[in-house]
């Protein structure tokens, strides 16, 4: 399958559509980590003396973790299917492949930013972000 390449205007137009999904991804990841922490705390209590914990308590929490994981996977898949790369689910960091001169680069955005204002080479990652040229 050929990689989709975005111009800056195309990437910003798509961003307007997928921003809610990226924000949901960050929110789901936070809930996922919280549910895992609760599950781990419950398992620790079971390991000590059980503390009146029932099998239903454990099963309900495991079901919650699995449901959040499924919802998170669906949101990530929706972003990926648009041709956008998900780089960090906790920060909501997305990359839009683009062409700059003869090189494939990545237009970079994360949840909380108004629009795509940075790019970086594929091997540089987030730390190599540079401001986009406004005429791009």
Report whether 33 contacts 39 (CB < 8 A): no
pLDDT at position 136: 46
Sheet containing strand 103-110, strands side by side: 85-88, 93-100, 103-110, 118-121, 130-131
Residue 65 half-sphere exposure toward CB, CA atoms < 13 A = 15
Backbone angles phi, psi at 107, to 5 degrees: -80, 130
Its pTM stands at 0.88
Please give the pLDDT value at position 48: 65
Q: pLDDT of the chain along its 136 residues, tens only?
A: 678 999 999 999 999 999 999 999 999 999 999 999 998 888 777 766 666 777 788 888 999 999 999 999 999 999 999 999 999 999 999 999 999 999 999 999 999 999 999 999 999 988 899 999 865 4
Six-digit token pair at 44? 């620790």
pLDDT score recorded for residue 50: 60
pLDDT score for 52: 73
Residue extents of the structural domains in the chain:
8-131
pLDDT at 78: 97
């Amino acid at each position: 399958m050929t990689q989709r390449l975005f111009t800056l205007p195309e990437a910003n137009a798509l961003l307007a559509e997928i921003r809610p999904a990226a924000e949901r991804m960050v929110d789901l990841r936070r809930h996922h980590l919280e549910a895992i922490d609760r599950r781990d705390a419950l398992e620790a209590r079971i390991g000590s003396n059980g503390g009146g914990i029932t099998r239903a308590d454990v099963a309900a929490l495991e079901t919650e973790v699995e449901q959040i994981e499924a919802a998170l996977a669906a949101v990530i898949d929706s972003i990926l299917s648009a041709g956008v790369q998900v780089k960090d689910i906790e920060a909501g960091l997305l990359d839009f492949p683009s062409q700059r001169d003869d090189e494939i680069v990545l237009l970079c955005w994360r949840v909380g930013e108004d629009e795509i204002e940075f790019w970086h080479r594929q091997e540089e990652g987030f730390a190599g972000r540079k401001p986009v040229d406004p005429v791009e």
